[in-house]
Amino acid sequence: MDEASKDNRTLSRGYGYSFKNTFATKKTVFVRRTRYTILPALSLQGIIAVDIMEGSYTKDKFKEFVISNVV
């Protein structure tokens, strides 16, 4: 299983370059948008199950996915 998520901040850089002894800064407008999370379950034969949801997974949601779709 592998979890991935996507929102409008996905392509934002976390690091950058700057002159010596200065901070790397970039000013942007911060707008929190909808986050989508995909959780596929894979085997050697291919995809067993997949779930796409709005928001992030919790421990309980993950456990429910495994019990109802994988086991």
List pLDDT tens digits, range 50-64: 999 998 889 999 999
Quote the pTM value. 0.59
The count of other CB atoms within 10 Å of the CB of residue 31 is 7
Write out the H or E segment, with its range, that includes residue 40.
strand 36-43
List pLDDT tens digits, range 31-49: 777 888 999 999 999 999 9
Burial label for 43, CB within 10 Å (0-12, 13-18, 19+), is exposed
Domain boundary assignment for the chain: 4-70
From edge to edge, which strands make up the β-sheet containing 36-43?
A: 4-6, 36-43, 46-54
